Chain A
């Protein structure tokens, strides 16, 4: 018979532990030991915890309502008065939001009151803008403009250079974020002949110093300023564009829609420009952020984007 003296469930008189009655291989028994004491008491504690929880927090449905619990949360309502409601995740969130807003208020108030040109000169506020702006930018802007603001050629503008389609002044950046933008250029593929488009592309390329066919440039320049192609309506006589309508500057060697920097040689660069003229653009859409972001957040982003490098 096995020695069971170390087992707390052993009856000392008989040296027997209660078994289930199962025996294998002569003496291999299945003991029916009681639950460990620590486990039993932990179980009782969880029951007591549940009782306390039911009383403190919203718990059981009762009739057409439910037990709301005795713990409460006090937050400010729209009139700025204290309002108390029973504890729930929504009232807790409201309180946390208000507490966080109060903690950030000194910074946001300062940011709201200070004109754009002075913010950069205030080291304390600048560091707030960089740290807070980076987070807001990463979540809302980086999907298109990329983490560093470098954009994607052919799709989303670069925010780190000093070329601005709609203007790089802080007020203009703010307007772009708040209201969004919609770029449009009509397609010329059907209105103009292939030769005309080629001439125009050569002229536009020449404006950025790309080596092209001089004869085509002359014809392209003529077309550009004619009422047939009428490019100058939007891009202006000097081809430097119009920021009020988002018409691009064609002379600054900065490219968004035509992938000129990625082209292998001069002929490919002209081909990229030809593609844009031919098919036009109906995709330069920046969503409007009014409503999704607060006015304060938009001002924060404005300063952040301005500081990325190219702000005017």
Chain B
């Protein structure tokens, strides 16, 4: 036999090249074609980019490392459906950069936590989780209530997301496009020149942390948590239609 396995094992260069080839098969053959398969992508209505306040809340979610214990992806299993609600759709995180799907659950999945608890509950829970869930192992985050939210760079943050494809509007033309796509009330919140104004207005009106005197980090955090998983109205979608996307 002219070719022996021994040759591969004793030659680091050949071994490296062949190993790379072997492991790239999985990616090239199985993952890459999925980008071009259109019939596995659900087109659902209602998904919109985060408002400035929600977007800042999401930044804080990442800053505090919430994703290390909480996933945001409900899998299509019956036990998960019973506990967390309808399984997550890819379209629901299409404006998330990066997405927060995750596979590590020390705490519960948060993909549909929006509206499940009151703002008041979230305040108590963030300051001291054990005060409302005695068996919880989640750390306390009391500083979020007392730390004022830095709103100065929200415009830059939205511009950065815009580059990745999130339709925040930087000019009138883009704004008009958003009005067409999302309707005027939503389009207004996506307009970068008004970002600071919109952020403060939403925090004032929502009064998420129960303190109207200032916009705290907790305001942003709760605004973000309360919108998670609430954008798609599943009562309008027949379950057998979603089956056909797999």
- Give Cα distance in the complex from A88 to B121, angstroms: 38
Contact with B along A265-309 (1 / 0, CB 8 A): 000000000000000001111111001100000000000000000
B37 adjacent to A66 (CB under 8 Å):
yes
Known: A61-B29, A61-B34, A283-B118. A100 touches B78 (CB 8 A): yes
- The answer to whether B30 touches A60, judged by C-beta atoms less than 8 angstroms apart, is yes
Counting CB contacts under 8 A, is B77 at the interface?
Answer: yes
Main secondary structure on A side of the interface with B: mixed
CB of A144 closer than 8 Å to a CB of B: yes
Q: Taking A65-B37, A77-B238, A152-B131 as contacts, is the C-beta distance between A292 and B85 under 8 angstroms?
A: yes
Question: Quick one: given A65-B37, A88-B246, are A93 and B76 in contact (CB under 8 Å)?
Answer: yes
Kindly list the 7 A-B residue pairs having the minimum CB-CB distance in the complex, ordered from nearest: A61-B33, A88-B246, A285-B118, A283-B120, A89-B76, A93-B76, A77-B240
Interface residues of A in 211-235 (CB under 8 A from B): none
> Is B38 in the interface zone, CB < 8 Å from A?
yes
B81 and A282 contact, CB distance less than 8 A: no
Is the pair A78, B29 in contact by a Cβ cutoff of 8 Å? Answer: no
- Add 7 more A-B contacts to A88-B246, A90-B245, A146-B132 (CB < 8 A): A61-B30, A61-B37, A66-B40, A93-B77, A93-B87, A283-B119, A287-B118
Report which B residues bind A (CB closer than 8 A).
29-30, 33-34, 36-40, 75-78, 81-83, 85, 87, 115-121, 124-125, 131-134, 207, 210, 235, 238-240, 242-246
Number of A-B contacts (CB under 8 A): 99
With A58-B246, A61-B29, A283-B210 given, is the CB distance from A94 to B117 under 8 Å?
no
Q: In the assembled complex, which residues on chain A have CB atoms less than 8 Å from the CB atom of B81?
A: 93, 97
What's the minimum C-beta distance from A144 to chain B, rounded to whole angstroms?
5
Interfacial chain A residues near B246, Cβ < 8 Å: 58, 88-91
Instruction: Report Cα–Cα, A155/B133, bound state, in Å.
Output: 13
Determine if B39 and A65 form an interchain contact, defined as CB atoms under 8 angstroms apart.
Answer: yes
Which residues of A approach B to under 8 Å, CB–CB? 58, 60-61, 64-66, 75, 77-78, 83, 85, 88-94, 96-97, 100, 139-140, 143-144, 146-147, 152, 155-156, 282-288, 291-292
CB contacts (< 8 Å) of B132 on chain A: these are 143-144, 146, 152, 155-156
Are A144 and B117 neighbours in the complex by a CB distance under 8 Å?
Answer: yes
Please report the C-alpha to C-alpha distance between residue A153 and residue B234 in the assembled complex, in whole angstroms.
Answer: 36
Minimum C-beta distance from A58 to chain B (A): 7
Q: Is the CB of B115 within 8 A of A287?
A: yes
Contact, CB under 8 Å: B118 / A144:
yes
Q: Check A78 against B240 for contact (C-beta < 8 Å).
A: yes
Closest to B40 in A: A66
Q: Chain B: which residue is nearest A75 at the CB level?
A: B240
CA distance A208 to B148 in the complex (A): 41
Instruction: List chain A residues, Cβ under 8 A from B134.
Output: 146-147
Residues of B within 8 A of A292 (CB): 85, 115-116
A61: chain B residues within 8 A (beta carbon): 29-30, 33-34, 37
A103 to B243, CA, bound (A): 22
Query: How far is A287 from B112 in the complex, measured between Cα atoms in Å?
Result: 14
Taken together as a complex, chains A and B put the C-alpha atoms of A287 and B119 apart, in Å, by 9
Nearest-Cβ distance from residue B96 to partner chain A, whole angstroms? 21
Q: Does the CB pair A90–B242 fall under 8 Å? A: yes
Given contacts A58-B246, A66-B37, contact A90 B87 (CB under 8 A): yes
B240 x A287 contact (CB < 8 A): no
Bound together, the chains give a CA A211 to CA B15 distance in angstroms of 88
Question: Which residues from A are CB-within-8-Å of B117?
Answer: 143-144, 287
Which residues of chain A have C-beta atoms less than 8 A from B30's C-beta?
60-61
Give A290 Cβ to nearest chain B Cβ, in Å: 10
